[in-house]
């Protein structure tokens, strides 16, 4: 599977759009592009209590807006070439 495969091209597009929305502090746009399962536990990287699933509330929106104020995202297409069991990995860079 290469970046020429339609599924990988879609993964690259979703990673690009969601990363740019997140870095812009726009969780609503981020959520429209990238959905999350409810069955995971998230440990915030800057501390605080763990949370179950993706939380999109006013507090999360404000925290993201105040932390991230934009940036350019450059996809690492070499990461898309690496596969594990046929599943491509993609690592957006800021």
Query: Residues 15-72: pLDDT tens digits?
Result: 889 888 888 888 889 989 988 887 888 887 788 888 888 878 898 888 888 888 887 7
Torsion of CA 53, 60, 36, 2, to 10 degrees: -130
Q: Distance between CA atoms of 66 and 21, rounded to whole angstroms?
A: 14
* Residue 4: pLDDT band with limits 50, 70, 90: low
Sign of CA dihedral 71, 77, 79, 83: positive
């Amino acid at each position: 599977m290469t970046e020429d495969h339609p599924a990988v091209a879609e993964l690259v597009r979703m990673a690009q759009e969601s990363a740019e929305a997140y870095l812009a502090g726009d969780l609503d746009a981020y959520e429209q592009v990238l959905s999350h399962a409810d069955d995971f536990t998230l440990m915030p990287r800057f501390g605080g209590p763990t949370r179950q699933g993706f939380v999109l509330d006013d507090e999360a929106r404000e925290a993201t807006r105040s932390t991230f104020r934009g940036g350019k995202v450059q996809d690492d297409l070499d990461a898309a070439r690496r596969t594990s069991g046929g599943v491509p990995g993609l690592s957006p860079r800021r």
